[in-house]
Amino acid sequence: MATINDIAIHFNVSASTVTRVINNDQIISVTMETFNRILEAVEGLDYKTVRARKSQQNKKMLKVNAMPVVGARKYIV
């Protein structure tokens, strides 16, 4: 999974340029070739936002439920 910095280094542009391309900023001043290459890299390198990566990690975490034992002061984990 690539980060914005990985893509920026690969194309020799700043991380803010990559961010502006991803967010489709209308005032960005890069060539269409660079714009398209960055978008292709974002798709090809499986770029995900920080929120999406954290969400994916949370889904992989093991969830443990505690259940009270009837008539006791203990929990089964």
Domains belonging to the chain, first-starting first, are 4-76 (1.10.260.40)
pTM metric for this prediction: 0.60
- How far is residue 66's CA from residue 51's CA, in Å, rounded to a whole number? 28
- CB contact at 8 A, 2 and 18: no
Name which residue leads in pLDDT, 8 or 60. 8
List the one residue out of 13, 19, 49 whose CA is nearest residue 34.
13
Question: What is the reported pLDDT for 48?
Answer: 74
Total residues found in the chain within this entry: 77
Give the pLDDT confidence of 39-59 residue by residue, as tens digits: 888 888 777 776 766 666 666
